[in-house]
Amino acid sequence: MQKITDSPIDFAEEIIEDVKNSKEEGVLKCVQCGMCTSTCPAALHSDYNPRDIIERVLDGDVSIIEDDCIWNCFYCYTCHSVCPVGNSVCEVNQILKQFAIKNEIGHDKLYEYMGFADSYFTAAIGAIPEIFFKDIDRDVPGWWDFRLHLDEIRKELDLNPPLMPSKEVIDEVSKILTITGFKDKIETIRSTQEDKNESNSR
């Protein structure tokens, strides 16, 4: 993979054309004012710098998709709301991460969240992966007990309809996710990461 594209603007154009990019040519309008960086919580707590992300995109620095820093953005949209020219580093990051995933980069970052993706097939909604339950219960004492008795609490409070979607809804959502390629994508991420884990353990 080359670091700087022959025509730097090609990289920005690729991002602009992506279906996830909702603002027309916002990337090209960046004036490097740094407002995004000054308000970004991820920048406050790490070396991550949203202004720098856009600078590298405009430089055609394709190697950014290999940089761990893009995974520090957690989509709070603060940068999106303060940018004076209507750019959204948040959306740019989402697109960069998809480029990375397509190039089999960052699968290790997603692997722990596969349980979240699986839950769309078993419950038609996103659910916290089981591996995080212990941590949540540690940080929010009593959370697990509350979660276990949620149905009883809802019944007591006369809350209807049931919290979980019906089997028909779950089947329909599963079909949509399969047809649109989501299922294949998570299976690819899971298998490539498991292969890497296995070869690292040898």
- Can you point out the beta strands (E) in 90-150? none
Contact between 96 and 65 under an 8 Å Cβ cutoff? The reply is yes
Chain centre to alpha carbon of residue 13: 21
Task: Select the residue interacting with ligand SF4 from 16, 85, 123, 173 (CB under 6 A).
Answer: 85
Chain centre to alpha carbon of residue 90: 10
- Closer to ligand SF4 by Cβ: residue 35 or 101: 35
Contact between 90 and 80 under an 8 Å Cβ cutoff? The reply is yes
Gap between the Cα atoms of 91 and 50, Å rounded:
11
Gap between the Cα atoms of 34 and 131, Å rounded:
37
Asked if 90 interacts with ligand SF4 (CB under 6 A), we say: yes
Contact positions with ligand SF4 (CB under 6 A) in 40-79? 40-42, 50-51, 54, 73-79
What's 84-106 look like in SS3?
Answer: CCCCCHHHHHHHHHHHHHHCCCC
| Shortest distance, position 180 Cβ to ligand SF4, whole Å | 25
- Closer to ligand SF4 by Cβ: residue 27 or 101: 27
Contact between 47 and 71 under an 8 Å Cβ cutoff? The reply is no
| Residues in contact with ligand SF4, shown as a per-residue x/- string from 144 to 183 under the rule CB under 6 A | ----------------------------------------
- Closer to ligand SF4 by Cβ: residue 42 or 186: 42
Size of the site for ligand SF4 (CB under 6 A): 27
Contact positions with ligand SF4 (CB under 6 A) in 26-45? 30-36, 40-42
Residues found near ligand SF4 in the complex (CB under 6 A): 30-36, 40-42, 50-51, 54, 73-79, 83-85, 87, 89-90, 93
